C-alpha cells in the first residue's frame, strides 16, 4: 500500500545523503518534497501541514545543519513524526474484568465487517478467550449465512435467532455467553451504503442494551480520505473506541492510515493484511513507520516465526544443517513453514519485512527479476513426485527417474535439473554457514537467531537467521531467475 510513498521518501533521503553538509535551503526543499509525497498518498492537507511544520521545527532545534550525518538525522525526524502521527504506542483491545467482553463492529457495507468478525474471533482465541459471534445483520442477503459459515471454518459458535431485532438479539447473545462460559462476544452489526439515521438509531439501541466494552469501526483503507469521513460520521453517534483498517494489502495510497488518528482522535487497533482468517495484525505505529521508510519490520517477522515455526523441529533442522544432513524432504517441510509464515501477504510480503529488502524487491521487479511465487509451487510438485529415497539421496536421480518425476509433477527434466543444481548450491552454502562466516555466529547466538532459527530456507539459502538476508536474491533465482538462465542457455545452444 505504501510503496509509492516509500519510493518518494527514499528518493528525498538519497539526495540528502549525497551532501556532506545541508544548507537551510536543502532542508526546505526536502520538506517540500515530503509534503508533496504525503499529499499524493492522499493524506489530509491539515495533517500534512502539521507534519511538515513539526519536522521543520525539530530540524532547526536539533542542529541538523551541523550534524555529521544530516540525512540520517532528517530520516529519524521523519520516522519519529510518523510514529507520533500514527499513535506512538499500540492501542490494545480492552478486556472487561468481568466476562464477557462485548465488542461491537460497525461500518458501512462492503468494508469487511463480517469477515473481520471472524478474524477477530481467531485473534481473541489466540489470546486465550472463548469467543461467540453474533449475527446481528438480518438485512443484507446471506449475511447471517456468511457468518455461520465462517464460524464453522474456525470452530467458533455463532448466535442467531430468526425474527428477533438486532438490539434484542444482541442482548440475548450476551446472556447466552454468560450461561455458557464464553468470554468474548463479537457483534456483527448491519451496514448501509451510507450513514443514515435508521442505522445510527439501531446502533444506539444495541449499545444501550449490551454496553459494549469496545466499539470498533471497520473501515476500508482503499477508500482513502473517505474512510476518515466515515469515522467522523460514526463517532458523532456512537462511542467509537478504535478502528480496524481493512485491505491494507491493497494498492491504495495509504492516506487513511496516516490521517485517521490525527483527524478523528480514534486509534487504529488492527489492520487487515490479507484474505485469510489469520490475516489480522495488531497495529504498531512504529513498525508501520519503519515499513514506510524502508527499514523493514523485523519484530513482526520474529512474531510470525514464533507463531508458525515449531521450535523443536527448528532445533532438529539446525542440527541437520550443522551435520550436512539437510535433504529435499527437509527442504519441502521448510517450504511449507514458509508458506504458513507468509500468510495472506504472500512470500514477497514476508521478505519485504527485512530491512532494506523492500527497495531491493522493487529494483528486482523493474529488472524483470521479481519473485514468481508460482515457481515455488512447481518446486513443491517436483519434490512431492520423488520417492522418499530420492528425497534423501538426490544423487541417485538419473535420466529415467527424472522422466518419471517430470511426468508426475507436470514439469520438464530441465526444471528438475535446475532444482537439483540449486539445491546443491544451497547445501554448499549451508556447510559454509555451519562453519561460521564472519559476523554470522554472533547473529545466530542472539535473540533474532533464536526467534528465526527455524526460518525456512529457499534454493540458494542457508538455514536459520544467518541466511535470512540472502532471501531476496535466492528467491529471485529460484522463482524466475533460474528459468531465465535456462532460456539463455537454450538460446546459446541454438546459436551454436
The predicted model scores a pTM of 0.63
- Cβ proximity of 115 and 150 under 8 Å: yes
pLDDT (mean) for 44-60: 83
pLDDT (mean) for 44-67: 75
Q: Kindly report, residue by residue over 330-349, the tens digit of the pLDDT.
A: 888 877 777 776 665 566 66
Q: What is the DSSP string of 208-240?
A: HHH--SEEEEEEEGGGTHHHHHHHHHHHTTS--
Q: What is the pLDDT of residue 491?
A: 45
Residue 119 located in a structural domain: yes
Do residues 444 and 475 both lie within one domain?
yes
Q: What is the pLDDT of residue 174?
A: 95
For 320, phi then psi, to 5°, come to -65, -40
Q: What is the pLDDT of residue 245?
A: 86
- Cβ proximity of 482 and 414 under 8 Å: no
What are 350-353's contacts with CB under 8 Å, separation 24+? 350/301, 350/304, 351/471, 351/472, 351/475, 352/291, 352/296, 353/291, 353/296, 353/297, 353/298, 353/300, 353/301
- Closest among 395, 396, 400, 398 to 423, alpha carbons compared: 395
Lowest-pLDDT range, 91-95, 198-202, 299-303, 314-318? Answer: 299-303
Q: What is the pLDDT of residue 222?
A: 77
Residue 94 located in a structural domain: no
Q: Kindly report, residue by residue over 386-398, the tens digit of the pLDDT.
A: 999 999 888 899 9
Inter-axis angle of helices 413-435 and 328-342, nearest 10: 90
Do residues 437 and 309 both lie within one domain?
yes
Do residues 302 and 361 both lie within one domain?
yes
Lowest-pLDDT range, 9-23, 77-91, 433-447? Answer: 433-447
Q: 58 pLDDT exceeds 90?
A: no
Q: 419 pLDDT exceeds 60?
A: yes
- Cβ proximity of 153 and 277 under 8 Å: yes
Do residues 121 and 209 both lie within one domain?
yes
Give the strands of the sheet with 101-106, arranged side by side: 158-159, 131-136, 184-189, 101-106, 214-220, 242-246, 268-272, 280-282
3-state helix, strand, coil in the chain (%, to 5): 60, 10, 30
Residue 95 located in a structural domain: no
Residues 24 and 469: their CA atoms lie apart, in Å, by 37
Cell numbers at 171, concatenated: 442482548
pLDDT (mean) for 253-273: 81
Q: How confident is the model at residue 206 (pLDDT cuts 50, 70, 90)?
A: very high
- Cβ proximity of 225 and 40 under 8 Å: no
Q: Kindly report, residue by residue over 448-465, the tens digit of the pLDDT.
A: 333 333 333 343 333 333
Q: Which CATH number is 324's domain given?
A: 1.10.260.30
Helices marked H in 111-211: 113-126, 143-154, 166-179, 197-210
Q: How confident is the model at residue 102 (pLDDT cuts 50, 70, 90)?
A: very high
Q: What is the pLDDT of residue 452?
A: 36
- Cβ proximity of 186 and 129 under 8 Å: no
- Closest among 80, 58, 45 to 286, alpha carbons compared: 80
Do residues 31 and 154 both lie within one domain?
no
Q: 480 pLDDT exceeds 60?
A: no
Residue 92 located in a structural domain: no
Q: What is the pLDDT of residue 461?
A: 33
Residue 132 located in a structural domain: yes
Do residues 302 and 279 both lie within one domain?
no
Give the largest CA-CA distance in the chain.
82
Please state, as a whole number, how many other Cβ atoms lie within 10 Å of the Cβ of residue 335.
Answer: 19
Residue 91 located in a structural domain: no
Do residues 60 and 140 both lie within one domain?
no
Q: 328 pLDDT exceeds 60?
A: yes
DSSP label at residue 437: -
- Closest among 243, 257, 258 to 51, alpha carbons compared: 258
Q: 103 pLDDT exceeds 80?
A: yes
Q: What is the pLDDT of residue 237?
A: 85
Q: Which CATH number is 80's domain given?
A: 1.20.120.140
Residue 96 located in a structural domain: no
Do residues 338 and 426 both lie within one domain?
yes
Residue at which a domain ends, from 86, 109, 132: 86
Residues 245 and 385: their CA atoms lie apart, in Å, by 42
C-alpha distances in Å from residue 46, one per residue of 6, 82, 228: 21, 15, 13
Residues 235 and 265: their CA atoms lie apart, in Å, by 10
Q: How confident is the model at residue 487 (pLDDT cuts 50, 70, 90)?
A: very low
Do residues 189 and 242 both lie within one domain?
yes
Residues 97 and 101: their CA atoms lie apart, in Å, by 8
Q: Which CATH number is 278's domain given?
A: 3.40.50.300
Residues 60 and 28: their CA atoms lie apart, in Å, by 11
Residues 171 and 113: their CA atoms lie apart, in Å, by 20
Do residues 342 and 405 both lie within one domain?
yes
- Cβ proximity of 264 and 47 under 8 Å: no
Q: How confident is the model at residue 355 (pLDDT cuts 50, 70, 90)?
A: low
Q: What is the pLDDT of residue 106?
A: 92
Burial of residue 186 (CB within 10 Å: 0-12, 13-18, 19+) is buried
Do residues 198 and 270 both lie within one domain?
yes
Q: What mean pLDDT is reported for the chain?
A: 75
Percentage of residues in the chain having pLDDT higher than 90 = 23
Q: Kindly report, residue by residue over 163-172, the tens digit of the pLDDT.
A: 899 999 999 9
Q: How confident is the model at residue 473 (pLDDT cuts 50, 70, 90)?
A: very low
Q: What is the pLDDT of residue 358?
A: 54
Q: How confident is the model at residue 490 (pLDDT cuts 50, 70, 90)?
A: very low
pLDDT (mean) for 288-310: 64
Residues listed for the chain: 496
Strands 242-246 and 131-136: unpaired
Q: Kindly report, residue by residue over 120-164, the tens digit of the pLDDT.
A: 999 999 999 999 999 999 888 888 999 999 999 999 999 999 889
Burial of residue 419 (CB within 10 Å: 0-12, 13-18, 19+) is buried
Percentage of residues in the chain having pLDDT higher than 70 = 69
The domain total for the chain is 3
Higher pLDDT, 186 or 321: 186
Domain coverage including residue 117: 101-292
Lowest-pLDDT range, 235-249, 276-290, 339-353? Answer: 339-353
Residues 9 and 391: their CA atoms lie apart, in Å, by 47
Residue pointed to by grid coordinates 521523519: 78
Do residues 285 and 302 both lie within one domain?
no
Residue at which a domain ends, from 292, 321, 350: 292
Cell numbers at 266, concatenated: 480514534
- Closest among 348, 288, 314, 302 to 479, alpha carbons compared: 348
How open is the CA angle 295-297-302, to the nearest 5 degrees?
A: 145
Residue at which a domain ends, from 86, 118, 143: 86
Lowest-pLDDT range, 102-106, 154-158, 263-267? Answer: 263-267
Amino acid at each position: 500500500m505504501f510503496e509509492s510513498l516509500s519510493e518518494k521518501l527514499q528518493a528525498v533521503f538519497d539526495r540528502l545523503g549525497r551532501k556532506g553538509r545541508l544548507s537551510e535551503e536543502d532542508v526546505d526543499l526536502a520538506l517540500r518534497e515530503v509534503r508533496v509525497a504525503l499529499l499524493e498518498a492522499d493524506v489530509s492537507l491539515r495533517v500534512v501541514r502539521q507534519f511538515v511544520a513539526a519536522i521543520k521545527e525539530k530540524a532547526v532545534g536539533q542542529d541538523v545543519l551541523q550534524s555529521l550525518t544530516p540525512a540520517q538525522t532528517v530520516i529519524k525526524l521523519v520516522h519519529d513524526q510518523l510514529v507520533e502521527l500514527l499513535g506512538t504506542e499500540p492501542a490494545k483491545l480492552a478486556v472487561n474484568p468481568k466476562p464477557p467482553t462485548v465488542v461491537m463492529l460497525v461500518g458501512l457495507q462492503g468494508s469487511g465487517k463480517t469477515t473481520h468478525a471472524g478474524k477477530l474471533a481467531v485473534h481473541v482465541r489466540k489470546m486465550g478467550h472463548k469467543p461467540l459471534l453474533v449475527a446481528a445483520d438480518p438485512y443484507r442477503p446471506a449475511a447471517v449465512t456468511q457468518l455461520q459459515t465462517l464460524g464453522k471454518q474456525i470452530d467458533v459458535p455463532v448466535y442467531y435467532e430468526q425474527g428477533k431485532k438486532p438490539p434484542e438479539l444482541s442482548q440475548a447473545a450476551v446472556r447466552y455467553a454468560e450461561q455458557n462460559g464464553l468470554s468474548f462476544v463479537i457483534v456483527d452489526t448491519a451496514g448501509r451504503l451510507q450513514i443514515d439515521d435508521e442505522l445510527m438509531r439501531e446502533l444506539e439501541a444495541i449499545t444501550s442494551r449490551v454496553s459494549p466494552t469496545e466499539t470498533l469501526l471497520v473501515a476500508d483503507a482503499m477508500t482513502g480520505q473517505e474512510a476518515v469521513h466515515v469515522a467522523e460520521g460514526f463517532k458523532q453517534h456512537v462511542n467509537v473506541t478504535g478502528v480496524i483498517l481493512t485491505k491494507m494489502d491493497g494498492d491504495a495510497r495509504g492516506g487513511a492510515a496516516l490521517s485517521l488518528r490525527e483527524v478523528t482522535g480514534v486509534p487504529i487497533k488492527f489492520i487487515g493484511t490479507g484474505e485469510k482468517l489469520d490475516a489480522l495484525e495488531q497495529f504498531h505505529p512504529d513498525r508501520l513507520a519503519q515499513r514506510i521508510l524502508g527499514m523493514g519490520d523485523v519484530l513482526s517477522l520474529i512474531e510470525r516465526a514464533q507463531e508458525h515455526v515449531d521450535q523443536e523441529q527448528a532445533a532438529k533442522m539446525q542440527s541437520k544443517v550443522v551435520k550436512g544432513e539437510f535433504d529435499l524432504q527437509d527442504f519441502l517441510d521448510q517450504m511449507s513453514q514458509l508458506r504458513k509464515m507468509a500468510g495472506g501477504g504472500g512470500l514477497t510480503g514476508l521478505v519485504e519485512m527485512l530491512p532494506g529488502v523492500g527497495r531491493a524487491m522493487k529494483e528486482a521487479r523493474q529488472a524483470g527479476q521479481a519473485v514468481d511465487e508460482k515457481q515455488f509451487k512447481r518446486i513443491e510438485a517436483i519434490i512431492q513426485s520423488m520417492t522418499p529415497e530420492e528425497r534423501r539421496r538426490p544423487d541417485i536421480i538419473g535420466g529415467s527417474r527424472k522422466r518419471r518425476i517430470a511426468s508426475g509433477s507436470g514439469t520438464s527434466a530441465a526444471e528438475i535439473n535446475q532444482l537439483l543444481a540449486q539445491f546443491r548450491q544451497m547445501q554448499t552454502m549451508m556447510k559454509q554457514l555451519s562453519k561460521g562466516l564472519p559476523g554470522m555466529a554472533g547473529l545466530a547466538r542472539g535473540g533474532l537467531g533464536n526467534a528465526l532459527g527455524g526460518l525456512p530456507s529457499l534454493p540458494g539459502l542457508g538455514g536459520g537467521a544467518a541466511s535470512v538476508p540472502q532471501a531476496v536474491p535466492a528467491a529471485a533465482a529460484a522463482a524466475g531467475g533460474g528459468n531465465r538462465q535456462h532460456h539463455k542457455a537454450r538460446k546459446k545452444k541454438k546459436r551454436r
